[in-house]
Chain A
């Protein structure tokens, strides 16, 4: 199987820094901001973004208060088929999400179904003022009318290809690769 690298570690780092600046700009700072990563690889991305934002804002100690995780397992629309998957932890920063700007963070945006489930899950925890979406890679092929506000890289793919995101926290190193597909 062929595999080609589309983002290496410095690319990912630059993308996160850029997205952090975008978020600060559109939110006019980091006040009332919550970054919720969707397990599994959205979670470390949310924490990296939080650290980048806190550093830019000059208060690095605030990073841990900005980021959390939101498990969408129980809200999926495909729970009946296939093999069962254990739910992952959800952790909402102690200040909650009511009246906040919540940025959902995920690694790959594909069909949009995960984000649909994420919006449902979010509603069970409170009522944010607004919800935004940040993804490392947007590979297209949407099933639902959903788009990302902040994108690390737009990546045209064929639907038979597979996008693999590796992150140091989970996989030991950072990379985005594409494999498979008909050539």
Chain B
């Protein structure tokens, strides 16, 4: 495994291996020294063409807990609009000595392009590319869900974490703007690859063309889906404000009424159904305050697990060693 660009090409075994390493990483927080020396002397560059303080901080914390040096480079907007090509940008950064590049970009495929054009020869981690994929988000979602379904604390150090397991048989609903969601795409591939039964719930305008060929069950009607299925977890997607004016749905009120996780729908959920959201949440729109603050909500666990999962990814990509007799 040289890069982490998407979950579509991530094997079940590789995914479980990353989740298992993340379990080890979560244990670091209870040590006397909450840091591992494993990436000492190595440099991780966070190359963010699109603002995302949350994701950048999570990657930064992960790299630092592994003792790596971190360089943050933010270049909002496309590289061409700055008059500097992507190639020049990446080669400049590479010349400063990067051992791995974490890239976030508004255009689908940019991480893939950095990994495969031969401009640089270091591992590339996709931290979100347009509406394509956000693999570390899906991995932290899977990690959180695997913990929650095993009945152990959903975040924090757990000595007997659910290592080696997938999400076999778990029924997971992903609700909302699937069309524009890299989180949804990454989760569809990863969760179904881990054996989960993935359901998408959205108006047809917010589902990708040809979704009927995806390995998922599609529902247009949230209430009908909730009464027909026993979901282990319901993952609400963020709806961007700019969608309100593009006729994907009539208005925010109707969207919230039909596809929001309202207090009333929260009441109807089985007591053991977990609630997830990749954040940041639009409270009162796709998710009610009652749902967001419910004890069944895993939203903060997801954020906390993000660091462990990203440590696992960096460890997985930046280390390798011979078998020795010692």
Contact = CB atoms under 8 A, between A and B. Distances in A.
Q: Is there a contact between chains A and B in the complex with CB atoms less than 8 Å apart?
A: yes
Given A84-B319, A108-B325, A126-B32, 13 more contacts: A74-B38, A74-B315, A79-B318, A80-B319, A82-B320, A82-B321, A85-B321, A87-B24, A89-B24, A110-B326, A114-B326, A124-B31, A162-B325
B33 A81 contact: no
Interface of A: 71, 74-76, 78-87, 89-91, 108, 110-114, 120, 123-126, 162-163
Contacts of B24: 71, 87, 89-90
B21 interface: yes
A80 B123 CA distance: 13
A125 B322 CA distance: 26
Given A74-B37, A110-B326, A84 B321 contact: yes
Contacts of A76: 321
17 contacts: A74-B36, A74-B38, A75-B37, A78-B321, A78-B324, A81-B322, A82-B323, A83-B320, A84-B320, A85-B323, A89-B163, A108-B325, A108-B326, A110-B324, A113-B326, A123-B33, A124-B35
Given A79-B320, A81-B320, A82-B321, A120 B326 contact: no
A86 B164 CA distance: 12
A163 B319 contact: no
Nearest to B320: A84
Contacts of B163: 89
A1 B159 CA distance: 42
Interface in B269-326: 315-316, 318-326
> Interface range on chain B: under 10, 10 to 19, 20 to 34, or 35 or more?
20 to 34
A80 B319 CA distance: 5
A86 B19 CA distance: 11
Given A87-B21, A125-B31, A82 B322 contact: yes
Nearest to B37: A75
Counting chain B CB atoms within 10 Å of each CB, the highest count among A78, A91, A162, A163 belongs to A78
A82 B323 CA distance: 8
A118 B21 CA distance: 19
Nearest to A87: B24
B60 interface: no
A79 B321 CA distance: 5
B33 A79 contact: no
Contacts of B326: 108, 110-114
B16 to A, nearest CB: 10
Contact of A91 (B36, B159, B320): B159
B27 interface: yes
Contacts of A82: 320-323
B316 to A, nearest CB: 6
Interface string B148-182: 00000000000100010000000000000000000
B20 interface: yes
B75 interface: no
B17 interface: yes
Contacts of B32: 124-126
A117 B315 CA distance: 17
Contacts of A85: 319-321, 323
B36 A84 contact: no
B44 to A, nearest CB: 14
Contacts of A91: 159
A90 B320 CA distance: 20
Which of A91, A112, A124, A125 neighbours the largest number of chain B CB atoms within 10 Å of its CB?
A: A124
A87 B321 CA distance: 12
Contacts of B31: 124-125
Among B32, B318, B326, max chain A CB count under 10 A is at B326
A125 B27 CA distance: 11
Nearest to B40: A79
Contacts of B159: 89, 91
A125 B36 CA distance: 11
A16 to B, nearest CB: 21
Given A91-B159, A111-B326, A124-B31, A83 B321 contact: yes
